[in-house]
Amino acid sequence: MAIEGKQEAARQPRIRLGMVGGGSGAFIGAVHRMAARLDDRFELVAGALSSTPDKAAVSGRELGLDPVRTYGSYRDMAETEAGREDGIEAVSIVTPNHVHFEAARAFLERGIHVICDKPLTSNLADAKKLKTLADESDALFILTHNYTGYPMVRQAREMIANGDLGRLRVVNVEYAQDWLTEAAEETGAKQAVWRTDPAQSGVGGSTGDIGTHAYNLACFVTGLTLESLAADLDSFVPGRRLDDNAHVMLRFAAEEGERPAKGMLWCSQVAPGNENALKLRVYGDKGGLEWSQENPNLLWYTPFGEPKRLITRNGAGAGAAAARVSRIPGGHPEGYLEAFATIYSEAALAIHAKKSGSELDPAVLYPSVDDGVKGVAFVEACVESSRKNGVWVTL
């Protein structure tokens, strides 16, 4: 029961952090800041918080940043901070998708670690170029597929890796929302506007915004690689330019002579009654697992032929992988911000290891630029399959 504050690092100094995007009116910027603060491993010291310089300045002031380090553009920030002795060591990129590539490039080229929101970029060509840049850079690249930070997601991954489910057969994942049931983009709602705009989001709507999370989660937990998919996408809301609902059939890669696992992915932003209903179900020949983001501290484990078991975060049955990223006792719920903070803490551990040249603890896990490339490829494959009437597209 008694748990020390093991996420509190502080034997190492806080990492100096900048932020691109995330000014007033943004949702995800504030999330990144809280996540960066929770475990006390980062200190926000600089920002290019808006592409509108005035707004950037106001936002910087609101956050208590030094005005000198409040920049009107990420380029300025990259250049100036790279030149300061106490310049930022890492940067969080929390803009709409189409800015990710250029912004990331600016920092990677200067050896500044990048923590970037997903999807990686707004198209696959950029994604691949960014991967090359990241591979060539000394700096690390961390993609915030934040759901991989949930303790029970780590638990599920560990159990599957341990063989508790046997050979995997079925992987069903879904992410349903309802906030775009009506044409919110026509009311000017900032979040709706850019997420339904191909110029800012890329070719995927719900597939890019939340389908990539579902896809990433399924692969992270199962350890499987998606081989091909067949998709049927829709834009149910009249006038909407990007998909707001997608049904996708999945085939995973199998070893020689093995029957491949199959699956389904459903993502929707027009499903009334669903807020952030990300749900994963995995079945193997020995048992199953079910996890739901909206009540994330629980994991159903269903060994075949035995009663269902409910494993709780830090409760009996939870293993080392979950305990490592838990902060408080079971029954005291940790939520979205804590999972997001875990990605930041993993990033911090990786950055410190990099700085000190020491080996990174293999238990440390964070989504990489490779995951980002896969995510963008997933979106493009969905769109292609759907355009071709649901033909199987190989990834």
Q: Considering only residues 27-56, where is the footprint of a second copy by CB under 8 A?
A: 27, 29-31, 33-34, 37-40
Answer for which of 187, 356, 358, 389 binds a second copy (CB under 8 A) is: 389
Where does this chain touch a second copy (CB under 8 A) — which range of 46-54, 77-85, 152-160, 289-297?
Answer: 289-297
Q: Shortest approach of a second copy to residue 14 CB, angstroms?
A: 8
Residue number with CB closer to a second copy (162 or 295): 295
Answer for which of 75, 251, 352, 354 binds a second copy (CB under 8 A) is: 251
- What are the angstrom distances between the C-alpha of 347 and each of 10, 18, 148? 14, 14, 13
Angle between helices 74-83 and 97-108 (to 10 degrees): 20
Q: Amino acid identity, residue 239?
A: G
Sign of the Cα torsion 36, 37, 40, 45 reads: positive
23, 53 contact by CB (below 8 A) = no
Residue number with CB closer to a second copy (37 or 128): 37
Our CA angle for 381, 387, 390, nearest 5°, is 75
Whole-angstrom Cα distance, residue 329 to residue 340?
18
Residue number with CB closer to a second copy (260 or 370): 260
Both structure tokens of 380 = 């493009």
Residue number with CB closer to a second copy (178 or 370): 178
| Cα atoms found within 13 Å of the Cα of residue 147, Cβ hemisphere only | 28
Both structure tokens of 120 = 């990686």
Residue number with CB closer to a second copy (137 or 269): 269
Residues 142-201 that bind a second copy (CB under 8 A): 169-170, 172, 177-179, 181-182, 184, 189-192
Residue number with CB closer to a second copy (188 or 357): 188
Sign of the Cα torsion 101, 107, 109, 113 reads: negative
Residues 222-241 that bind a second copy (CB under 8 A): 230, 232, 234, 236
Is residue 256 within the footprint of a second copy (CB under 8 A)?
Answer: no
3-state secondary structure of 239: coil
Where does this chain touch a second copy (CB under 8 A) — which range of 114-122, 130-138, 202-210, 267-275?
Answer: 267-275
Q: Shortest approach of a second copy to residue 335 CB, angstroms?
A: 4
Is residue 296 within the footprint of a second copy (CB under 8 A)?
Answer: yes
Answer for which of 86, 163, 272, 388 binds a second copy (CB under 8 A) is: 272
Answer for which of 334, 346, 371, 380 binds a second copy (CB under 8 A) is: 334
Q: Amino acid identity, residue 54?
A: D
Residue number with CB closer to a second copy (75 or 262): 262
Our CA angle for 209, 232, 178, nearest 5°, is 45
Is residue 305 within the footprint of a second copy (CB under 8 A)?
Answer: yes
Both structure tokens of 189 = 């709602």
Both structure tokens of 61 = 């002031």
Residue number with CB closer to a second copy (139 or 322): 322
Where does this chain touch a second copy (CB under 8 A) — which range of 114-122, 208-216, 322-330, 361-369?
Answer: 322-330
Residues 82-121 that bind a second copy (CB under 8 A): none
Is residue 323 within the footprint of a second copy (CB under 8 A)?
Answer: no
Where does this chain touch a second copy (CB under 8 A) — which range of 72-80, 100-108, 129-137, 310-318?
Answer: 310-318
Q: Shortest approach of a second copy to residue 378 CB, angstroms?
A: 17
Residue number with CB closer to a second copy (123 or 245): 245
Answer for which of 144, 297, 326, 345 binds a second copy (CB under 8 A) is: 297
Answer for which of 127, 271, 348, 351 binds a second copy (CB under 8 A) is: 271
Which residues neighbour 31 within 8 Å (Cβ) at sequence distance 6 or greater?
336, 337, 340
Whole-angstrom Cα distance, residue 219 to residue 217?
5
81, 45 contact by CB (below 8 A) = no
Which residues neighbour 383 within 8 Å (Cβ) at sequence distance 6 or greater?
203, 204, 207, 231, 233, 243
End-to-end CA distance of the chain: 45
